[in-house]
């Protein structure tokens, strides 16, 4: 099995040969950093092409604003596309590492070991702007990935909300817990007669074939299978009760807040008045009730409502809530959307891959699973993608 090195200007002159090709499964080269191009990239690309080595490229993101991020995406694209349009990389990576706040005017500020610098609260917006501009430049069929540390990717940056085609994580002490395509496991590897080279290996989501093939396929595209309305309709027929046969009726107090999740720590999304009846969706492991209002899912305290059978008008004596501590795991390949509600018509929150696991919060009548994300929010995923374990 060959090696997967990543190199840049810092490796200086690199000699390529037939032996280099034989040793290399895939090579990733830095093309740009901030607003500067990697001056070693053009000469090394010519050698990569000469020896037919499959390759990807990365850009070190230094932007502090969304406008700067868009410009950096243009620098990245032009640094690559103007070299040899006929031999383009198979994956374009955004390198998101150091907290952007430690950069100023393109220079890294000295670090005070006693000072805990906050990370840029706009990191998600910056990365999203970079991704969207690069996507517009490379087209819908090209693949865009991210290189980062797990803690920056999630939960801090919430970067799983961006539909990356390839996840590349660095961890020199252990295998990343987050399912990934690539794992950079050392900065002291041997490659091509050189030492102190960054080396990576394929992760549970990846393979050499995955890295080297050109363009997206159904397997890697972020538009996922549960978005097919006919498939969702068939799934609902199979699972039977959709929850629409019961209504949650507010019977206590004058009014209760509707919230974004099953607890008072979640934000308020509306009000449910005494006597108001809303379609029941699910009951959570904390005893809160999910209801449907204006096409969206809201949560109300179980103390506020009682369940009524819509056909008979009789009270429903008990509801079966999930046991605390149950887990949900994505068991199917490809990428799957986690959504704000129990169906493909709801907004996307993030993209999940096979192996992702969360705590189960609730189960909708149509079978969709409500999960607790790492940042505390509640999201919903199709039962075609995940299972209770």
pLDDT in tens, the chain (389 residues): 799 999 999 999 999 999 999 999 999 999 999 999 999 999 999 999 999 999 999 999 989 889 999 999 999 999 999 888 888 999 999 999 865 444 444 555 544 444 445 556 788 999 999 999 999 999 988 999 999 998 888 877 788 888 888 999 999 999 998 888 999 999 999 999 999 999 999 998 889 999 998 776 433 333 333 333 333 333 333 333 344 589 999 888 778 889 999 998 888 888 898 888 999 999 999 999 999 999 999 999 999 999 998 888 888 878 889 998 899 999 988 788 999 999 999 998 888 888 889 999 999 989 999 999 877 899 999 999 999 99
21 CB neighbour count, 10 Å cutoff = 18
281 vs 248: CA distance, rounded Å: 9
Of 121, 107, 130, 185, residue with least CA distance to 156:
121
DSSP strand E in 172-254: where?
A: 182-191, 194-202, 246-250
Calpha distance 107→294 (Å, rounded):
49
Among the listed residues 252, 326, 330, the one whose alpha carbon sits nearest the alpha carbon of residue 289: 252
Chain centroid, CA 67 distance in Å:
22
Q: Where are the beta strands (DSSP E) in 8-71?
A: 27-33, 36-37, 55-60
Q: Of 37, 36, 39, 138, nearest to 89 (Cα)?
A: 138
| Three-state DSSP class for residue 5 | strand
Biggest alpha carbon–alpha carbon distance for the chain: 80
The whole-angstrom separation of Cα 71 and Cα 49 is 27
Q: Which domains, from first to last, does the chain contain? A: 4-222 (3.20.20.80), 240-309 (2.30.30.40), 327-388 (2.30.30.40)
In this prediction, residue 233 carries a pLDDT of: 35
The order of strands in the sheet holding 277-283 is: 268-273, 255-259, 296-300, 289-293, 277-283, 246-250, 305-309
d(CA 191, CA 109): 32
Q: What is the pLDDT of residue 97?
A: 84
């Amino acid at each position: 099995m060959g090696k997967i090195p990543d190199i840049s200007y810092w490796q200086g002159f690199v000699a390529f040969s037939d032996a280099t090709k034989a040793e290399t499964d895939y090579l990733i080269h830095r093309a740009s950093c901030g607003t500067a191009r990697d001056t070693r990239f053009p000469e090394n690309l010519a050698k990569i092409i000469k020896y037919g080595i499959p390759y990807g490229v990365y850009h070190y993101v230094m932007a502090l604003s969304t406008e700067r991020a868009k410009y950096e995406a243009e620098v990245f694209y032009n640094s690559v596309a103007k070299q040899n349009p006929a031999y383009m990389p198979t994956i374009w990576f955004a390198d998101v590492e150091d907290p952007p706040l430690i950069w100023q005017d393109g220079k890294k500020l000295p670090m005070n070991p006693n000072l805990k610098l906050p990370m840029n609260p706009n990191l998600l917006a910056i990365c999203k702007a970079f991704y969207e501009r690069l996507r517009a430049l490379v087209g819908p069929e090209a693949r865009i990935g991210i290189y980062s540390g797990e803690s920056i990717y999630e939960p801090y940056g919430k970067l799983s909300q961006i539909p990356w085609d390839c996840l590349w994580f660095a961890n020199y002490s252990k295998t990343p817990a987050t399912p990934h395509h690539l794992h950079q496991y050392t900065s002291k590897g041997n490659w091509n007669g050189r030492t102190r080279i960054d080396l990576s290996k394929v992760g549970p989501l990846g393979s050499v074939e995955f890295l080297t093939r050109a363009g997206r396929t159904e397997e890697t595209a972020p538009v996922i299978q549960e978005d097919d309305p006919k498939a969702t309709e068939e799934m609902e027929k199979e699972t039977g009760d959709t929850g629409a046969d019961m209504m949650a009726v507010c019977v206590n107090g004058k009014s209760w807040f509707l919230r974004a999740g099953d607890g008072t720590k979640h934000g308020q999304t509306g009000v449910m008045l005494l006597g108001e009846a809303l379609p029941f969706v699910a009951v959570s492991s904390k005893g809160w009730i999910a209801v449907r209002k204006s096409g969206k899912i809201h949560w109300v305290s179980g103390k506020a409502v009682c369940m009524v059978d819509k056909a008979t008008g009789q009270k429903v004596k008990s509801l079966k809530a999930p046991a605390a501590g149950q887990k949900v795991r994505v068991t199917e390949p490809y990428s799957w959307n986690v959504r704000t509600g129990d169906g493909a018509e709801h907004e996307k929150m993030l993209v999940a891959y096979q192996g992702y696991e969360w705590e189960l919060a609730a189960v909708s009548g149509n079978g969709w699973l409500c999960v607790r994300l790492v940042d505390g929010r509640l999201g919903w995923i199709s039962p075609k993608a995940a299972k209770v374990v």
